[in-house]
Amino acid sequence: MFVDQVKIYVKGGDGGNGAVSFRREKYVPLGGPAGGDGGRGADVVFVVDEGLRTLVDFRYQRHFKAPRGEHGRNKGQHGAGAEDMVVRVPPGTTVIDDDTKEVIADLVEHGQRAVIAKGGRGGRGNMRFANPSNPAPHISENGEPGQERYITMELKLIADVGLVGYPSVGKSTLLSSVTGARPKIAAYHFTTLSPNLGVVELGEQSFVMADLPGLIEGAHEGVGLGHQFLRHVERTRLIVHVIDMAGVDGRDPYEDYLQINRELKLYNLKLEDRPQIVVANKMDVPEAQENLQRFKEKLPDIQVYEISAATRQGLQELMYAIGEMLATLPEKLAVEEVAEVEERVVFRAEKEPDAFEIHRENEIFVVSGDKIEKLVRMTNLNSYDAAQRFAKMMRSMGVDDALRKHGAKDGDTVRIGKLEFDFVE
């Protein structure tokens, strides 16, 4: 089964919680705080494995949650960091954030790695909070939550040569005639429902050829097999445009040529400049010569290679022409642009540059924002000292003043993440 697009959920491991502990040893009076930090949560890391050719495994496992770090312990012992979760993907995989539609990673080379969901840092133990004014703090942090997101994975087949054209023009027959591939071949449209790969051997030179599902008008908008086909063309170094010159289905070969190139251009402007070889197939049919003559009259500057994939006529000349052109082309194509910085700011408090937003849900004031919600999750609210520290940080971030400006009164309910509390002026 060939699967080239799938949506999955990934989550980095949470950091381990910091510990609250005090040194208690004979002959060591007032030993002081000795709670260790929590360990770092594991990252979810995608690694390219050239032995994979499809995303079918991700249809059966759609959730990837990395392990969390160990909690801190007494005697100043820090928790161990978790080992990263390594997920192997085929070359040509593009990873896209499902919410923002930003490209997270474009993985094309064997061994290439990308962190898809970062693990959280470990929470600090109480020994980190000791200071002259509070030498015995009962404060520790919970581990930072790991990053979580839904992602879409698209596999764009990596091949040297991509065969394009209308359905039933003979692409699969051509592939089977020049390689060891054995795609399904039948006398009806869309016989090829998924890409087929084959290796062409030309003495010391060899290249990978892909037979891709047929195009029809409107393919750039997803009509027919549309996007399932077109995404794979982006990775090919050379396009071999196969035309049914005999017009077996009653179509005009010239119009077929224009329409296919129009679909490629509308899908991605870069494909308009991709090197292309035009192949006139089915030249063993009597009507083909007459159609070819008209085709050349309309496009006199384009070299057309005449073949019959069924009888193997002209195939050797075509393969050597493809090999010669590939030798002049760069080995690698430009990959997708990956966003380096991800920043979303909704509202900034006046006193501090920490983004948060305030809105009302009936009688409840809801405060939302990455930093403030992370602060809630990392605060051990069972500790009085930690709760006091949280209140102080809210004031320093300007949350209290912003709530007053939005009309919050003494005793009103405020919600931050899953925490609800009464507002005190």
Please name the helix (run of DSSP H) or strand (run of DSSP E) that holds residue 280, with its range, or none. strand 276-281
What one-character-per-residue DSSP string does 323-338 give? HHHHHTS-SS------
Helix, strand, or coil here: 371? helix
For residues 33 and 22, the answer to whether their CB atoms sit within 8 Å is: yes
Closest CA to 177 of 53, 286, 318, 283: 318
Taken as a whole, the chain contains a residue count of: 425
Burial class (CB in 10 A: 0-12, 13-18, 19+), 352: middle
* 271 annotated ligand binder: no
Q: DSSP E strands: which ranges in 82-225?
A: 85-89, 93-97, 103-107, 113-117, 148-155, 161-164, 196-202, 205-211
Is 21 annotated to bind a ligand? Reply is no
Query: For every residue of 238-254, which 3-state class applies, written as one string?
Result: EEEEEEECCCCCCCCHH
226 labeled binding residue: no
> Burial code of 374-404, b = ≥16 C-beta within 10 A, e = fewer?
ebbbbbbeebebbeebbeebbeebbbbebbe
- The answer to whether 192 is annotated as binding is yes
| Nearest residue to 318 (alpha-carbon basis) of 190, 422, 136, 170 | 170
132 is in an annotated binding site: no
Is 170 among the annotated ligand-binding positions?
A: yes
Task: Please tell me whether 171 is known to bind a ligand.
Answer: yes
Q: Give the strand order in the sheet containing 357-361.
A: 357-361, 364-368, 413-416, 419-422
On whether 308 is known to bind a ligand per the annotation, the reply is: yes
Backbone angles phi, psi at 322, to 5 degrees: -65, -45
Q: Is 284 annotated as a binding residue?
A: yes
Residue type, 243: I
Q: Is 193 annotated as a binding residue?
A: yes
The verdict on whether residue 54 carries a ligand-binding annotation is: no
**Which residues have C-beta within 8 Å of that of residue 179, sequence separation ≥ 6?**
198, 199, 200, 209
**Paired sense of beta strands 205-211 and 161-164, if any:** parallel
* Residue 283 marked in a binding site: yes
319 is in an annotated binding site: no
Residue 281 assigned ligand-binding role: yes
Residue 37 counted as an annotated binding residue: no
165 labelled ligand-binding: yes
* 175 marked as part of a ligand binding site: no
Tell me whether residue 172 is annotated as binding: yes
SS3 121: coil
Residue 210: both structure tokens together: 């892909």
- Give binding residues for GTP as ranges: 165-172, 190-194, 211-214, 281-284, 308-310
- Give binding residues as ranges: 165-172, 190-194, 211-214, 281-284, 308-310
- Give binding residues for Mg(2+) as ranges: 172, 192
